Amino acid sequence: MKNSLQLLLVSILIALILVACGQGEGPIDPEESGSGIDSDHNEELIEENDEQVKEETEPVIEDETNEETAIEDNIHVVELYFADSQVMNLYKVETTIEAEVDELFLKTMELTIAGPAHEELFSLIPSDVKVQYVKEEDGIAHVSFSEELLNVTVGSGGEGMLVQQIALVMKQFGFDRTQILIDGEKHNTLAGHVDTSEPIEAMDPSTIEKLN
């Protein structure tokens, strides 16, 4: 009986030793331990890192479309008016100009002063005249020139063509009448023949011959 009890105790002791030795051995279940790595989450992090690296390393390609569109928006087709060499008639010439919308009137008037490329035509406005500003007041175009415009030497017919040169340029932008100014002030006349104290009414541009 005593031996049996001793044998039982020895068996229990051996079992406890085996159990103690077996702890910590074998594979660990991440879900049971709570310390494992979530593989799905890990894959998402790897994908995000790959995308970030790709964005940082990919060459930056400039969008040229917007730039080209901006340039096209600043290209305008305009009509300029010039006299023939005999100062008998006015003719219109179509050309393109690059300008911001708020500079279009001024730039077109400057082209008028610069004169045409056509050999048979010329501008009646002296080349040393400066356009100071072009603005709208009560639906009327106000164009101010430097005082050199008062030095123009033309007859009555030439002065009539000169003021029409100016008025017709503004007519294409929707202004039926144009007030010509010198240094921002009204003058009774430029060369003594045409009244410029009041706005000049532009003639019908469709009656003017167009030259290529």
Amino acid occupying residue 118: H
The pLDDT of residue 119: 86
The pLDDT of residue 19: 56
Nearest CA to 111 among 89, 134, 84? Answer: 134
The pLDDT of residue 6: 62
CB atoms closer than 10 angstroms to residue 161 = 22
The pLDDT of residue 34: 46
Q: What are the tens digits of pLDDT across the range 63-79?
A: 555 555 545 778 999 99
**Residue 175, CA distances (Å) to 20, 39, 166 in order:** 104, 74, 11
Cα torsion 187, 188, 194, 196: sign: positive
**Spatial distance between the Cα atoms of 156 and 179, rounded to a whole number of angstroms:** 19
The pLDDT of residue 208: 96
**Spatial distance between the Cα atoms of 127 and 150, rounded to a whole number of angstroms:** 13
Percent of the chain with pLDDT over 70: 67
The pLDDT of residue 58: 55
The pLDDT of residue 63: 55
**Spatial distance between the Cα atoms of 83 and 89, rounded to a whole number of angstroms:** 6
Percent of the chain with pLDDT over 90: 60
The pLDDT of residue 57: 55
Mean pLDDT per segment of 10 residues, for the chain of length 212 residues? 58 64 50 49 59 56 53 86 94 93 93 91 95 96 97 93 97 97 97 96 96 84
Nearest CA to 178 among 202, 195, 160, 206? Answer: 202
